[in-house]
Amino acid sequence: MKYKVMYDRGTRLRVRSGQWAFTKNEGHGIASLLMKNDFIDEVYTSHKNGSILIYYDNIKNKSKIFDILNKITLNDLFECEATQKQISKEITDDFILKLAKMLGRRFFGRIFFPIRLKNILTVYHAFEYLWKGIDSLTSFRIDVALLDGAAVAGALWQKDFAPASSMMFLLSISDALEDYTLQKAKSTLKESLALNIDTVWLVGDNGEEKQYPAVEIKKGDKIKIHMGDVIPVDGKVISGDGLVNEASMTGEPLAVHKSYGKTVHAGTVVEEGNLIVEVFSINKETRLNKIIDLIENSENLKAETQSKAEKLADSIVPYSFLATALTYLFTGNSTKALSVLMVDFSCAIKLTTPLSIISAMREASDNRMMVKGGKFLENYATADTIVFDKTGTLTNATPEVVHVFPMSKRYTRDEILKMAACIEEHFAHSIATAIVKQAEKEGLIHEEDHSEVEYIVAHGIVTTYGGKRAVIGSRHFLFDDEGIKINKTQEKKIKKEVAHHSVVYLAIDGKLEGLICIDDPVRDEAKYVIEELKSSGIENVIMLTGDSESGAKSSADALGITQYKSQVLPEDKSRIIEELKAEGKTVIMVGDGINDSPALATADVSVSMKNSSDIAREVADISLLSDDLHDLVTLRKLSTGMLDKINSNYHRIVAVNSTLIGLGVLGAISPSTSSMIHNLSTMLFGALSTKSILGDNYENLGDIDV
């Protein structure tokens, strides 16, 4: 490939190959080709001038990039669909270009066009607003379109071409901004729903499993999806049994049982079990991608505040007409009446509200927070209750074994730990990992002396160990579900030894044989963050956990949380959220695990942490891209600041425009002056709406781990 280096600084490189070097989709193909290299972070291409912008991880890899570019030939070019990140950037670039063209045409026309030509162009552009106004009038709607059309018509009738032109210019910018806001919100949601799966487990005819590139999967292939994995295709279960969470597809928080012959869909997640699926839809043909396409026509991503602003703008219209009519009735002066009509409240309201939302969402992105729509920022700002999962959210999710107690003389302390590690090593749960690590640390090497294990979500594990039935898990699981008996001596020992710890119970052949005490220290910043959230107006802070009462109480005391529930099942978390909402509370749910997904789907607004499971990120309305709870405080400041800015703009708009109406009625200002002040104030409020909420010098309260 022939190219010229246009920019080369740090780990950012831009080269240009010329206008006809590649098509738009071939540019996406080049980006895909370059992104196969681990040292390249992002690639953006522009077919308009053959530009390739490359972000990479280390200056030492620059020579490798040039080697790749030098080896690309015409035969290597292939067409490819844009990624959601590329689409998002194209939306922004197109908006900036559109805005620049609008400003350029306005500036050039005002400076160089003769007055007669400017007036002709004003009349030409007015037809769009006049037509919309006539449509509203004939449909008996008294709305913003009717007011805009009447104001433009009145200005043209009085031959006030400059005020009419200025008003239409600002209205066109307002429409462009509103369109951009919706496109960006939809793009962000589509990006969050898009599946980023590189490889799958392909099952051969002989039953052998091997990793295979996801893009090369074909209809009829058989793939295996393990517990916790996102399903990458639409297909039919041909083997296996499991529970699949379909919240990203149906919105229902509870997992659905899937077995032979049942259909599964891309974007859903296997919560429990393993499935072998025969592929019948891939890529664009999947139901998930069809839903993503439907998002293009959705208006549901608008913030409630933005919708209210538009309704408010429409509601003011009759009063504007009434003020205009009364002014003409009492003064008989059409100039004074036009001065009132030219003051369009809706113009400023419609311009500043989407600008404020765009600004807040951009600032959230700058602070490594992905928000799927303006309405979720609004819900976060108005919430009065926050519910935390404990493990991995309020704690570091790195629990440690602190004690191991044998409960009979049949097994020693080391044997209890060794058996528990042997059973738990098949699962990636943090507590299981802690037990396995402790056994390794103590040199307790174990053999595979058990049958296939059965994992029961949020309860524990059942297997056969040494020919005897073995169960390991929570107190509720062993004593309530499994009916394990416990004598008074054991109960007394449990109360004495395991206070303030989370406990894993091990029973062999129906008898309690061991206790393993686990501690998961709370995050260093967690207590301070909770105090800050309370001071920001969140009245109720609640912790939900599947841990034991003693472990939950210990964590709650350390964090200053007075409301908590222990030994909570996934479906119970969802039910508790529903009960809080029924009490009239607006609820934030913060979680990170598969078992949090029902509650995340149920809450008014949900937040997932950086290291969350795939399903938690899919379901959550807001995803934190750093592993720091301080971001919850930052998000609260940002979201409340957005609403404060919108409310402040509204009061300023009412004050300024009401003053202009009063001056117009008194004849103190002409229609052209009224329009000029109105338009200048609208532009000023628009500029204020883009101002940073957190401040240019704002430093996030925690270190962001990028």
Q: Which are the catalytic amino acids?
A: 389
- Contact by Cβ (8 Å): 596, 388: no
Q: What CA–CA distance (Å, rounded) separates 32 from 248?
A: 27
Q: What CA–CA distance (Å, rounded) separates 461 from 268?
A: 24
Q: What CA–CA distance (Å, rounded) separates 271 from 223?
A: 17
**Which runs of consecutive H residues, i.e. helices, occur in 194-332?**
247-250, 287-295, 304-331
User: What phi and psi, each to the nearest 5 degrees, are found at residue 399?
Assistant: -65, 155
**Nearest CA-CA partner of 245 in 224, 223, 227:** 227
**Nearest CA-CA partner of 31 in 10, 54, 60:** 54
Q: What CA–CA distance (Å, rounded) separates 462 from 292?
A: 40
User: Widest CA span of the chain, in angstroms?
Assistant: 105
Q: Alpha-carbon torsion 410, 412, 415, 421, what sign?
A: positive
**Which runs of consecutive H residues, i.e. helices, occur in 21-160?**
24-35, 62-71, 84-112, 115-138, 144-157
- Contact by Cβ (8 Å): 248, 300: no
Q: What CA–CA distance (Å, rounded) separates 173 from 350?
A: 10
- 29 Cβ contact partners less than 8 Å away, ≥ 6 residues apart: 22, 77, 78, 79, 80
User: What phi and psi, each to the nearest 5 degrees, are found at residue 233?
Assistant: -140, 170
Q: What DSSP string describes 302-324?
A: S-HHHHHHHHHHHHHHHHHHHHH
Q: What DSSP string describes 567-628?
A: S--HHHHHHHHHHHHHTT--EEEEE-SGGGHHHHHHSSEEEE-TT--HHHHHH-SEEESSS-
Q: E strand or H helix at 648, and its extent?
A: helix 630-665
Beta bridge partners of 587: 385
- Contact by Cβ (8 Å): 466, 446: no
**Nearest CA-CA partner of 264 in 253, 203, 250, 617:** 250
Q: What CA–CA distance (Å, rounded) separates 164 from 610?
A: 51
Helix (H, G, I), strand (E, B) or coil at 541: strand
User: Residue 321, class by beta-carbon neighbours within 10 Å (0-12 exposed, 13-18 middle, 19+ buried)?
Assistant: middle
Q: What is the helix, strand, coil percentage profile of the chain, to 5?
A: 50, 20, 30
Cα of 614 vs its chain's centroid, Å = 13
Q: What CA–CA distance (Å, rounded) separates 322 from 337?
A: 10
CA distances from residue 360 to 365, 585, 640 in whole angstroms, order as listed: 9, 24, 10
Q: What CA–CA distance (Å, rounded) separates 177 from 354?
A: 7
Q: E strand or H helix at 488, and its extent?
A: helix 488-497
Type of residue numbered 97: L
Beta bridge partners of 342: none
Beta bridge partners of 366: none
